[in-house]
Structure 1
């Protein structure tokens, strides 16, 4: 079973009986939180990022995950340069195909209206994913260092681009949404 909320897979688990599954669904659909779900269904698992989503601190938690990561695809110089820029630090970061991407929302589908940075052979390629061509994303430019790539991204942030909000890109497209 997977438990989703506003575009985020919050928890998962494998019920062994129909009654266990019904209990879990009842707790989740009645608005119970992660702790309520685990209390009623000990087989349910979730992690710190799900807890951060529940608290409304997913953006901060995701930045900390990347800042502490030892994963080979995480360019720490790039992460720190982005984190040092308050306008980018307010967005939800995520990696996709070795690129560091930013979203104005914390759930999937994410927004794709902020430039993307991809470390390539010691340089930093900045592209648009929103204007893809048959050859791939549209180039903005290339920088020799993370700081200059961050400047390119910040210079092209969408008008009114503020802190990321809970929800999905579809939620942001709805009339009256943030």
Structure 2
């Protein structure tokens, strides 16, 4: 088992075999035990020594980090622990890949407020095998790309992992300061997302999306042979200069959310906790996430002219959030809630979606024709 703490996203990533996950599930159900991490012999600032399970009074499960001991602590009452144990056991026995996101949101069925977000990776890799069957190989996406290129007589060189992603979900090839990265993180539809940085290391080089591993391998081969960003864009029309332009039709909003939650440097990023809380509200996922100047808006269009119908979330000086309803020519803006937690602010926005709003349209908001 491997445990990694991500101080930027404020979550812990857990990767384990099916046997290790089943053992952890049993310990959580029993309310006691310590499961050591494979990195315990050489921990660093972000790797953890293991998971400790405790019984605790009260209602709910709390997931916390004991920074001094570099240990993840899971505690709670028997009923709540049993639910979490069942979820982990289901992940251990499932035949497909995927991720289990254990994040608190208001009225969560078993997690306590303040619990540390935990991402549990399937023993079978990052994505369901039905969507990405060729990625179910020991080396994941990198090996699958190398094999596909070899089928066409090409060599793409050594592929490297992408920090924060399972091998089945992402891989990259480095050439000097430039990087060719591929992601298979969409678990709703098959999609291989391409991000190519410039030779200077500037991240805004080329972006693309396809469902074909052969196409990705062909583009990667040309890049490895020295093709420039401009040459690649001219040869492959699927490549663009913007990650959202590269999103398949009908998936701009979902792509924007995925990049936001993955903390991609290719998109505007707001507060991570607030973004997670907003996304945890299903009714808000159909709107376009738009953080700006510390605020967070959910828009009804994905391009200029933008259209905002929902309340905005605005930071306070003490780290909390205000929710403000937009004004109009006839009405003034008004504060719906003040000094709220991220979860409370997200719930309030969801409760104040105007009738008839959403889902967001792709492109700019249509201009009304003036009345003569």
Task: Say yes or no: does 1:139 pair with 2:345.
Answer: no
- Structure 1 residues 51-70: aligned runs within 5 Å: 51-52=246-247, 54-69=248-263
In structure 2, the partner of 1:130 is 327
- Tell me, in whole angstroms, the C-alpha distance in 2 between the residues paired with 1:130 and 1:170: 20
Q: How many Å separate the matches in 1 of 2:277 and 2:337?
A: 17
Matched residue pairs, number?
134
SS in 1 for 2:337: strand
Q: RMSD of the alignment, in Å?
A: 3.2
Contact 2:305–2:365, Cα closer than 8 Å, also in 1: yes
TM-score (norm 1): 0.63
Task: Indicate if the aligned counterparts of 2:309 and 2:357 stay in contact, CA closer than 8 A.
Answer: no
Structure with a larger share of its residues in helix: 1
The higher-RCO structure (CA 8 Å, 6+ apart) is 1
Name the structure 1 match of 2:302: 106
The aligned residue for residue 7 of structure 1 is: none
Offset of residue 143 of structure 1: 4.0
2:270–2:292 contact (8 Å) kept in structure 1: no
| Match in the other structure for 1:168 | 364
Equivalence map 1:38-77=2 (5 Å) = 38-39=233-234, 46-52=241-247, 54-69=248-263, 74-77=270-273
Does the C-alpha gap of structure 1 residues 63 and 153 become closer, same or farther in structure 2, counting only changes over 3 Å? same
* CA deviation map 1:110-151 (0-9, x unaligned): 112110012222211111233489xx9532221431111112
